């Protein structure tokens, strides 16, 4: 297995989240909360949002 197909799959998952086509967290599988400036998972803390300078931003914290 190469890295490129995995990367494309993650990119497709994140794009689906941003479009509202998916409601599932790509990190833990729980439902996400759509907030005005970001999408957040209350279970694992993953946060997906837009930044004007960097485009898409994904944050996740262990624990």
pLDDT at 5: 67
pLDDT band at 2 (very low <50, low <70, confident <90, very high): low
Total residue length of the chain: 63
Domain extent for 45: 3-59
Number of Cα atoms under 13 Å in the Cβ half of residue 27: 17
pLDDT at 53: 44
Instruction: Report the C-alpha gap between 57 and 55 in whole angstroms.
Output: 7
| pLDDT (tens digit per residue) in 14-58 | 888 888 888 899 889 899 998 888 889 999 998 887 654 445 555
Element housing 14 (H / E): helix 3-19
pLDDT at 37: 82
Among residues 21, 9, 4, 10, the alpha carbon closest in space to that of 46 is found at 10
- The domain tally of the chain equals 1
Residue predicted with more confidence, 23 or 6: 23
């Amino acid at each position: 297995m190469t890295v490129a197909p995995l990367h494309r799959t993650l990119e497709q998952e994140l794009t689906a989240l941003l479009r509202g086509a998916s409601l599932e967290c790509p990190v833990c599988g729980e439902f996400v909360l759509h907030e005005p400036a970001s999408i957040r998972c209350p279970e694992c803390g993953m946060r997906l949002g837009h930044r004007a300078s960097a485009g898409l931003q994904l944050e996740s914290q262990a624990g």
